[in-house]
Amino acid sequence: MTVAVSTGTIDFDREKLQAFLTEALGPADGPLNIQRISGGQSNPTYFVDFGAHRMVLRKKPNGPILKGAHAIEREYRVLNALKDAPAPVPATILLQEDDSIIGTPFYLMERVEGRVFSDCSLPDLSPDERHGIYLAMAEALAALHSVNPNDVGLSDYGKPSNYFERQFSRWSRQLKESPSAPIPELFQLMDWLEQNMPADDARLGIAHGDFRLGNLMFHPTEPRVVAILDWELSTLGHPLADLGFCCMTWVTAPDEYGGILGLDREALGIPSQAEFVEHYQRSLGDSSPLLPFHIAFALFRFAVIWVGIADRAAAGTAADPNASKLSPLAFAQRFAIRGLELF
C-alpha cells in the first residue's frame, strides 16, 4: 500500500515555507506542493515537492507540549548519524529550529519510495510475501541494534545504563500527571512492572522506541526494509525494549491498532513470535532471552502514549485532527489488559 495523504488544510504559511526553501535550496523550476500524511498521532508529517526536490517535512505539533516531547531535533540527529550505517534510514536535508517559518521547528528529509503497511495481517499479500515481510522486519531491527552508538557519534544520545528503570520512571510520571480519567488496569500494570524490574545487564544500543510494521517502509516489490521511520522516541537503550515493542503484534487483536491475535497466523503465512525472535537473534548474533516483562513494558509504554494522545485531543493540539474519534483511552485500557494477561 502507499502512504495515505490527507485532504485537510495545511496549518502553516505556505509562502513563508516557499521563501525559506528558495533561500536554502535555490529557486525551484516548479510549484511548491504540500500534502499532509494522515495516520500520524505525534509529529505532523507532510510530503513536500519543491521543483526537483521530493521531500518529507516533520514538525512539532502546534500548541503547548510537554518538555522533551516531540523532539524533532533528536530525530534529525539520529537520522543524520545513521546515514552510513547498516540500518536503512532516509537521507536528511536540513533542520530548522527557528519557529518563525512555519510556527514550530521542523526538518526535511528525502522522500523514499516504497510500501508502508498499517495492517499487520498484510491482507493484500500472499502467504510467502507475508512471511518475507515479517522476517525483513526482524532483520532491519537487528541491523539497527548492530550499530555501536560510539561509532556514529551517538555516545551521548542517552544515558548508558538502567534503561528500563529510567523509562519506567518517565512513563509512570507522565501517566500520573495526565489530566485524563485514570485507567485502573494501567495503574495495576504499572505496579507489576515496578515489582518485576529485571536487573540491568548493561546492554546498550540505539533504541528506536516505536519499532513496528507501520513505521517501516519496504521496497516496492521486494521483502526488504528501505527506511525505518518515526524516530521521535529514539535514545540509547536496551535492544530488548525494541524487540518487546515489536512483539506486541502477536499479543494484540486486529482492532487494537492492527495486531494479529486471533487470526489464523499459519494460513496467513505470518511467522510465530518465536520464529520472529529467533530470526532477529540469528541476524544480530545474540541470544539474550525475550521475557514477558519486555512485552508487558512495551504495552504499558504504548498505553501511556495513547493517554497522551487523549490529553492532546482534549486540549485541541493532537497531530491528527481525528484523534478524539479513535477513543485513545479505550486503546490505552486494552493495551493495559493485554499486558496483564502476560503474567
By the 8 A CB rule, do 298 and 288 touch? Answer: no
Q: Which residue has the higher pLDDT, 313 or 291?
A: 291
Segment 252-267 shows an average pLDDT of 94
By the 8 A CB rule, do 255 and 245 touch? Answer: no
Judged by phi (left if over 0) then psi (alpha if -120 to 50, else beta), residue 267 lies in alpha
- The confidence band for 7, taking pLDDT boundaries of 50, 70 and 90, is very low
H-only helix segments in 50-126: 72-81
Block residue for cell numbers 518538555? 67
pLDDT at 65: 66
- Give residue-wise pLDDT tens across range 318-342: 555 555 456 899 999 999 999 999 9
- Give residue-wise pLDDT tens across range 44-54: 999 999 999 99
**Rounded CA Rg of the chain:** 20
Angle between helices 239-246 and 127-145 (to 10 degrees): 160
Q: Which of 15-24, 119-128, 133-142, 312-321 has the lowest mean pLDDT?
A: 312-321
The angle formed by the CA atoms of residues 191, 196 and 200, to the nearest 5 degrees, is: 125
- Counting Cβ atoms within 10 Å, is residue 156 exposed (0-12), middle (13-18) or buried (19+)? exposed
Block residue for cell numbers 504499558? 300
For 20, the 3-state DSSP assignment is: helix
Block residue for cell numbers 523514499? 112
Number of H helices, E strands in the chain: 10, 10
- The confidence band for 1, taking pLDDT boundaries of 50, 70 and 90, is very low
Nearest alpha-carbon partner for 18 in 95, 97, 101: 101
For 185, the 3-state DSSP assignment is: helix
H-only helix segments in 152-230: 163-177, 184-195
Measure the CA–CA gap between 189 and 334, rounded to whole angstroms: 12
Distances (CA, A) of 76 to 20, 57, 130, 192, 216: 18, 11, 31, 35, 17
Measure the CA–CA gap between 101 and 109, rounded to whole angstroms: 17
DSSP 8-state assignment for residue 261 = T
* Model pTM above 0.85: yes
By the 8 A CB rule, do 121 and 263 touch? Answer: yes
Beta strand 53-59 with 106-110: parallel, antiparallel or unpaired?
antiparallel
* Averaged confidence pLDDT in the chain: 92
